[in-house]
Structure 1
């Protein structure tokens, strides 16, 4: 079976990690051939991970700057590869490759929703949603909220952003070794975040919340920001202007994110919109209390130590809730794995669901 996945780009995002987790197992245990089509300059670390997972990665022109070229190159790839399935992971913009797949008579065309809200005007979202439903034959989502956002009342299936639980479950035992490597004092409180430096992740608000928390409540606090992106330099300048440059660690993209979870005391995720971010699953699996915005799919709340908060609330509210999690973090590590497996976040279990979904979709044709 041949599958072409269309994604926006290869960076340090959750969609890319989701593909790495799933395709790595499917490519190893099945006769699947999987191709990842992307735009923009790729992050080399993530590109290598996809290729090590057994995926063939092909770059095409950016649809924003070269829409016609993007469509033509998508057409050529689909026409030459003759896939059984085209699986699109660009949420509202899935209809671009879905339309081309329809022209090329691909029988199984999958729209996959990875967001539960957006910042677009409502009429724009409505048009894009309708086009996705028209050109897709199957609808997937990372969570219930993400599915209802993109598909409304149309029937969809949830495929969780599952992880290899054993890679994260005991990672915090290495806490002090990793802190020494990062030059973080053993008694420091580390507020962590992992994500691309793009508008969606709301790094500016994140820095403002940490600024207030540091100056008002905890002078032993550090902020650890893992990831890269177009806005990284701007955020470095902002941290300098706020006078907290020596308290904010910018790591860039990293090959092994698990070591950075090990030093975090609380994970802060004030995103403007998300589906079900894979970092939220990894962080909770690592036993880290989380403070996240309520614009994120509510399925992201797995443990009782994860709190959702409105972005409309003041920084004062955010910093107080952050401080509460720092001082009240009580996690029963013995139950985390069972909870994650029960809620469908074990990659070993969930990959079987996706494999069965693909096979059934093809057999129906």
Structure 2
């Protein structure tokens, strides 16, 4: 049996973590086992910890390199020397090159770099630019396999170097909700059955740009009185968004649900799924929304590879709020499953990952 060590940073309900858990659940664990490296700052984010341990996986906690990079190197070195790993699979975008370098120094022969985004979101300060160049050189020099969720995500991290696109696999059958399911979920949330529901799923962080989404919703609410906005996710900007909601007098119309495990059921009640992100690779929630046959309106900073079904629109972040309003509120609100979307089924992705692992 081969053991794969995943550098994740945290194991919450984010897209990259959910992607890897979808793979983990379906692979043959007699042939391969997963372990995960997380930062001590996120040791209390335990959404998947019990499940990982129940499947035979281990969770290793190390110092967050943002706080003390020297201690991080010491921690990772100690980990790699103490335990045996056949493969390292790095999903940390900024700084992943350091993980692959340390893995090579400790004799791990297969070292995978996996890009899930189109940028790191660290800004362009002089120190960050220098570190970005150094980490990228380490990544390209010490990686043996390069994977990306989309073409844009691959080019952003690997440049002209060859890489393999690995689809963010999801279990498509989980998203076949019924009208009764929708009514039950609306009742549970206290949302009127005739509401026009705009949905968003993502961490409450700068990258996800929910501040703009709330401004857009303010415009929509003036013309479509039965509108509701449901935002699923948690993050450091929660209090700031709550203040914005109160300022706009939308406390009764915007639901901040926090992190949830009933994503398919929540998608089922949305009329439109909207993302105003500053950047994304190929967001898994975009695939899930299409598997739920929902209309999507996305910022044009999100990979165009996300469009796997007909009813997906892209809007510039520079566009007036009225443009967003029109795109979101204009019918049709349904969508169709396509042959292309079917290639994103997790069974397909598991087979691809196992081939990359050499199993």
Superposition TM-score, scaled by structure 1 size: 0.91
Indicate the residue corresponding to 2:263 in structure 1. Answer: 257
Which whole-Å deviations, capped at 9, do the CAs of 1:250-278 have from their partners, x for residues lacking one?
11112221111111110110111111111
Residue pair 2:290, 2:335 contacting (<8 A) in 1 also: no
Which whole-Å deviations, capped at 9, do the CAs of 1:78-110 have from their partners, x for residues lacking one?
111221111100123211211211211211111
| Counterpart mapping for 1:1-365 below 5 A | 1-28=2-29, 30-39=30-39, 40-41=41-42, 42-119=44-121, 120-121=123-124, 123-124=129-130, 125-170=132-177, 174-215=181-222, 217-324=223-330, 327-332=331-336, 336=337, 338-341=339-342, 344-359=343-358
Q: Secondary structure at the match of 2:60?
A: strand
Structure 2: how far apart are the matches of 1:12 and 1:319? 29
Residue pair 2:19, 2:169 contacting (<8 A) in 1 also: yes
Structure 2: how far apart are the matches of 1:168 and 1:53? 24
Runs (4+) of structure 1 moved beyond 4 Å? 122-127
The Cα of 1:69 is off from its aligned counterpart by 1.2
The structure-2 alpha-carbon separation of the partners of 1:48 and 1:198, relative to structure 1 and needing over 3 Å to count, comes to farther
Residue pair 2:116, 2:153 contacting (<8 A) in 1 also: yes
- Give 5+ residue unaligned stretches, structure 2: none
Structure 2: how far apart are the matches of 1:317 and 1:300? 21
Q: Secondary structure at the match of 1:112?
A: strand
Residue pair 1:12, 1:195 contacting (<8 A) in 2 also: no
The Cα of 1:127 is off from its aligned counterpart by 4.2
Structure 2: how far apart are the matches of 1:48 and 1:231? 27
Residue pair 1:192, 1:224 contacting (<8 A) in 2 also: yes
Which whole-Å deviations, capped at 9, do the CAs of 1:266-307 have from their partners, x for residues lacking one?
011011111111101111100111111121121111111111
Q: Secondary structure at the match of 1:276?
A: coil
The structure-2 alpha-carbon separation of the partners of 1:172 and 1:156, relative to structure 1 and needing over 3 Å to count, comes to farther
Which whole-Å deviations, capped at 9, do the CAs of 1:228-248 have from their partners, x for residues lacking one?
111112211211111111111
The structure-2 alpha-carbon separation of the partners of 1:53 and 1:346, relative to structure 1 and needing over 3 Å to count, comes to farther
CA RMSD of aligned residues (A): 1.8
The Cα of 1:45 is off from its aligned counterpart by 2.4
